[in-house]
Structure 1
Amino acid sequence: MIIRNLKREVRTPPGSYPVIIMPIPLSTIITGITVGINGKSLDRGYSPLTDKIGKKVVSEKVTVYDDGLRPFGFRSGPFDGEGVARKKRVIFDKGVFKNFLFDLETGAKRGLPSTGNAQRSYSSLPSPGPNNLVMEPGHGDLDQTISGIDRGIIVCGVVGGGHGNIYAGDFSVKLDLGFLIEKGEIRGRLTETMMAGNIYNVLLNVIEIGDYQKDLGGEYLPWILTSELNFTAS
């Protein structure tokens, strides 16, 4: 369906639309979440998830975890960059925020142990970060989901991602590959279109989650359908 409409260019009026976000662009905008769950962001007072543990932050359809022991995972291994044992740790459980990710330093400042998430290289000091970030798939069939949308957009690729307050989860990206959906069918490829929003709102307004994950090298993500995002001409 998508391939047939690659050459048909269309424009859509600025506004808010339901959006299917495919795994690769989702990986770009989900950076705001990885920053928010980082113990260093919490320590510096930047995280919007401060005091949110145990509270519903995103849709109950969303479960996200970090799994440093995932078989064949891109960053899997028995120990993190400080020698602390890695493990599977739930971040959002059916929408409820459960855990930050700490290394030894950021955990100690909170009187907590490391979560086994110290990342380092030969040229950098340890700093907390995800090992393998995983969003559980749902039951959504992509073709069926598209057929149920009266007017919306499917985003397959974006350019940018650094525009906006990343600590708050804001993003503004240009569509590299996106399509207009009308009456359940893809009408054509969108041109000169910007997408802006907040990743926490995106995940709070999730309607459907795809039934498979894509391996993106340290992130394992499905596609999602969210109720609305803002689009403008670029």
Structure 2
Amino acid sequence: MSAVHMQTLAESLVEAARRAGADAADALAASGQSTSIAVRGGTLEQADRAEGVEIGLRVLIGGRQACVSASDHSPSAIARMAERAVAMAREAPVDDMLGLADPDQLARHRDAGDLQIADDRPDPAPDALQDLALRAEAAARDMPGISQVESAHAAFNRQFLWLAASNGFSGGYGRSGHSLSCVAITGEGLAMERDHAGETRVWAADLPTPEDIGRLAAERTLARAGSRKPPTGAFPILYDRRVAASLIGHLLSAVNGAAVARGASWLRKDLGRPVLPDGFDLIEDPHRPRYPSSRPFDAEGLPTRARRIVEGGVLQGWTLDLATGRKLGMASTASAARGISSAPSPATSNVILTPGTVTQDDLIARMGTGLVVTSMLGASINGTTGDYSRGAAGFWVNNGRIAYPVNECTIAGNLRDMLMTLVAANDALPWRGTEVPSLLVEGMTVAGA
């Protein structure tokens, strides 16, 4: 649907809410379409296509709020939504921190064109996506030692969002996404191992070739042949760049204003204190062109901007929307995000950690004996204390060199201690929402054989 129609839907929701008795309201209208193709054994295995329009409304009455959503966007449905939302809000608990932005806080620039977050080329046809998937599968299958390719997958999506509010804000923009992935298998029975490769880009032109994706999936899989459990003990851990962002993700969760306001963050008393080694910056930049989470304004209509979450290792501030900022006596960092059926909450976009000056091989040599983690599963993370435990797989290092692949082990530590020992490599990959290089962590516990 056109931008004009999406604007009309969002603004109609706000008007209906005011007529139904809301003190204030904001609304989100989203149209989207997606196509997904999976192949196996050189033939089409699955094809999916979806498209539709969804609308969501939040109303506020005397410090109370309620959210409703629907896929029916007829005038009568919009009127019923507004009445239902107002009735729900009147029964909700009071939170005096709730409220829309003041008009003078709102973003003036509401066009995302300069961010280039929507591919301007024609949408790929299903047969073009199938060709990409088949080429990735063939490249993986042709590698000696690969017993089968579990799947190869290509997909495209495009959406358009429009946000309107009773404080006068009205703005929207489009997004696109292209993805390509492959999962390969080596060995048989109990000796079977698998690994994958996959990439996602805003613009198709920025994707690696299908052959690169397929070969990388195969190479990663073949490297896992003969995996075994590592020894148990205290060892350094090197988080490969494939998984290092998850470690920084725990830091981002701990500085989220919602967790801090609840007292449920292990960093709740550390504002202005070191949380990373000296020399590390953690920067959020929502204006990186062609990056998937770039945006000109947040979900409350505030202008987004670059900021330093950590500077020189020292924590500079929390990630805040309007409500959590008011609870903590601080201004919003224009970090509100929301879904169609949910209220705004704080979230980051395009986070970059300072890279190091050495290669991953240099860090492996420095380790001596330890574990390189390339994949993880399951998690036990205590958000209040920072206690950390995760299942892991990767490669064992002896005498500064990779000795053999490992699986079925657990790594454990405390996030506060772990993050203060970080050493970064220089191998961060671009195009990620969290751009983090390989990270060496000293003295974690490995539970293996």
Normalising by structure 1, report the TM-score. 0.90
For the pair 1:149 / 2:367, whether they are aligned, the reply is yes
- Tell me if the contact between 2:255 and 2:268 (Cα under 8 Å) persists in the aligned partners: no
- Residue in structure 1 matched with residue 409 of structure 2 by the alignment: 193
- Tell me if the contact between 1:58 and 1:201 (Cα under 8 Å) persists in the aligned partners: no
- Residue in structure 1 matched with residue 263 of structure 2 by the alignment: 45
Q: Which has the larger radius of gyration?
A: 2
- 27-36 or 43-52: bigger deviation: 27-36
The 1:72–1:198 alpha-carbon spacing in structure 2 relative to 1, beyond 3 Å, is: farther
- Residue in structure 1 matched with residue 437 of structure 2 by the alignment: 222
Identity %: 28
For the pair 1:66 / 2:278, whether they are aligned, the reply is no
Structure 2: distance between partners of 1:122 and 1:141: 43
Q: Looking at both structures, which has the greater relative contact order when contacts are Cα pairs under 8 Å and sequence separation is at least 6?
A: 1
Match among 89, 93, 96 for residue 314 of structure 2? 96
The 1:164–1:3 alpha-carbon spacing in structure 2 relative to 1, beyond 3 Å, is: closer
Higher helix share: 2
Match among 165, 170, 179 for residue 387 of structure 2? 170
* Cα offset, 1:140, TM superposition: 1.7
Structure 1: distance between partners of 2:351 and 2:253: 12
- Residue in structure 2 matched with residue 233 of structure 1 by the alignment: 448
The 1:215–1:168 alpha-carbon spacing in structure 2 relative to 1, beyond 3 Å, is: farther
* Cα offset, 1:195, TM superposition: 0.9
- Tell me if the contact between 2:264 and 2:383 (Cα under 8 Å) persists in the aligned partners: no
Gaps of 5+ in 1: none
Letter in 2 for 1:194: T
Structure 1 stretches of 4+ with a deviation exceeding 4 A read 1-5
Task: State the secondary structure of the residue aligned to 2:258.
Answer: helix
Letter in 2 for 1:223: S
For the pair 1:36 / 2:254, whether they are aligned, the reply is yes
* Aligned-residue RMSD, C-alpha: 2.1
Gaps of 5+ in 2: 1-218
* Cα offset, 1:30, TM superposition: 3.2
1:153-206 deviations in Å (ceiling 9; x for gaps): 111111122x1313433322111x311100121110113211112232221011
* Cα offset, 1:44, TM superposition: 0.8
Letter in 2 for 1:73: Y
- Residue in structure 2 matched with residue 125 of structure 1 by the alignment: 343
Normalising by structure 2, report the TM-score. 0.48
Match among 197, 205, 209 for residue 421 of structure 2? 205
* Cα offset, 1:216, TM superposition: 6.8
The 1:110–1:156 alpha-carbon spacing in structure 2 relative to 1, beyond 3 Å, is: same
Letter in 1 for 2:283: Y
Match among 21, 34, 44 for residue 239 of structure 2? 21
Aligned residues: 231
